[in-house]
Structure 1
């Protein structure tokens, strides 16, 4: 449902601020962010602590230049994410907003103010990118209210998916595929699972065998979850032309029925 609160994150826990509070732009600055501070900020505060394959990271800085928000534009998990939601046949013309959140001290309209400027920074750094796809996760209580406020095109809801968790912490499917396929970054992905409590794989243990052991021992837990709300920001005339043939559905007004594992959705 539409609410009078904005959801924020600190220390990987949800916080809420009054939507009716208004930021003073003089108190904030927006600038590109180096990968290391962006990665540390996401790991410390976001409910998805793993850092995506970033193309551009943008920071929101408050008083005394303190980092109070990030927007991370990243490579999509598959090229079809871009082609399906933007209409471009060349996936390099699009990107995804893979992480976007603010700390609780930012006033209620901070999301729209920040994301508009983050998109400007993206275009300045990567002018060939003409559209941005972003998902809102109803499992975390999100319907994309701030995306609707910026006139993002609502494409609808994706199909239900399988989500993985260790000790209640979500694990991105891309993290597991890196391990399973022994891709670049697999060692770091293994370290991430170990840091959450998974035993380290044996010296001769194959990656898929290790993941199967984690599943068998209920360390890595899989759940069938709701789909995601899909939005697209069409940043150029060409992107708007491409988007004419795609769905532009009415904005969602409420969450889907709550999943039994996530009753907090009702209160968001």
Structure 2
């Protein structure tokens, strides 16, 4: 499916920009915001309501200073995400665009306007970051068309993977692993699932046993997801130089297309 419409989100429902007018840059402001408002906005509107391990959060403000969009730059799940897709040996020279969302109040071309300015703020706040990796999810209705518009390098398509869902919401792999392994932050991860309407662990129930029980009772359901499209934004001359040695695939044209010649990697981040 190809479309010229711009996908938006509100209350975790996919919508579309309401008219064919393009964004007026003078009517919007972009600035760094605290993680609290960013977390609340993501939880309210994004189809992945969990908040990632954020480094910098940036907001798009419309008329009357109303928050209409959020971009969250975050730590990747593994350093290999950065080294593989940016070419930098030092993973601190890259990050991931883990969440990007605009509401349906934002006109056409809002994404490219917002992301381009968000990169400027990111570089001012974290000048050591020279490249940004991001993934688009065809199951959520997008293949990274805004990334293509901003000339991001299309690096790879990840392998299809199995995820856990609760009440139609996909649970991030990092959330699941925190609970299953009892890692630091697992209590907060449990709270995320409880907030979706799942029962809390019983008094003597271990976190891993609780997860298995939820699966047995079909409160957590395994789902096979299509591969993600991996992109890299090369923000500096050095990043572009490093990127010359890495794959740069043709931009995808439709939703979704299996292609046997594309390189596949295990998914690392949304």
Q: TM class by shorter-chain length?
A: over 0.9
**Counterparts of 1:224 and 1:157 in 2: how far apart (Å)?**
15
2:71 aligns with 71
Residue number in structure 1 paired with 2:31: 31
Give the CA deviation at 1:242. 1.1
> How far apart in 2 are the matches of 1:21 and 1:156?
33
Partner of 2:108: 108
Matching residue of 1:263: none
Aligned counterpart, 2:91? 91
Q: Report the count of equivalent residues.
A: 258
Tell me by how many angstroms 1:245 deviates. 0.9
Question: How many angstroms apart in 1 are the aligned matches of 2:51 and 2:19?
Answer: 28
**What residue number does 2:13 align with?**
13
RMSD (Å), alpha carbons: 1.3
1: CA distance, partners of 2:20 / 2:250: 24
CA distance in 1, matches of 2:90, 2:62: 37
Which residues in structure 2 correspond to 1:74-153 (within 5 Å)? 74-153=74-153
Match of 2:268 in 1: none
Counterpart in the other structure of 2:191? 191
For the Cα contact (< 8 Å) 1:72–1:99, is it kept in 2?
Answer: yes
| 1:213-248 deviation digits (Å, cap 9, x = unpaired) | 111111111112111000000011111111111101
CA contact (8 A) 2:18 2:105 kept: no
Provide the residue aligned with 1:264 in structure 2.
none
1:204 is matched with 204
Asked if structure 1 preserves the Cα contact closer than 8 Å seen for 2:157 and 2:229, the reply is yes
Question: In structure 1, how many angstroms separate the alpha carbons of the residues matched to 2:2 and 2:146?
Answer: 11
- For the residues of structure 1 that align with 2:60 and 2:133, how far apart are their CA atoms? 20
Task: Give how far 1:2 is off.
Answer: 3.1
Counterpart position of 1:215: 215
1:3 Cα offset (Å): 1.0
In the aligned structure 2, how far is the partner of 1:226 from the partner of 1:140? 10
C-alpha contact 2:154 2:251 (8 A) present in aligned 1: yes
Q: For the Cα contact (< 8 Å) 1:20–1:109, is it kept in 2? A: no
Query: How far apart are residue 198 of structure 1 and its match?
Result: 1.4
**Contact 2:18–2:104 (Cα < 8 Å) also in 1:** no
Q: So what's the TM-score if we normalise by structure 1?
A: 0.93
Residue 257 of structure 1: CA displacement?
Answer: 5.7
**1:81-134 deviations in Å (ceiling 9; x for gaps):** 111111111111110000001011111100000000001100000000110000
Q: Name the structure 2 match of 1:231.
A: 231
1:67-92 deviation line (CA, Å, top 9, x unaligned): 00000001111111111111111111
How far residue 44 of structure 1 moved from its aligned partner, in angstroms, is: 0.5
Contiguous gaps of at least 5 residues in structure 1: 259-268
Q: Given the two structures, how large is their TM-score scaled by the length of structure 2?
A: 0.93
User: How far apart, in 1, do the equivalents of 2:189 and 2:19 lie?
Assistant: 37
Question: Are the equivalent residues in 1 in contact too, given 2:182–2:208 (CA < 8 A)?
Answer: no
Cα distance change, pair 237–47 in 1 and its aligned pair in 2 (3 A)? same
Matched, 1:247 2:247: yes
Structure 1's consecutive aligned runs of 4 or more residues displaced over 3 angstroms after TM superposition are none
Structure 1 window deviating more from structure 2 (160-169 vs 65-74): it is: 160-169
**Distance in 2 between the 1:18 and 1:76 partners?**
34
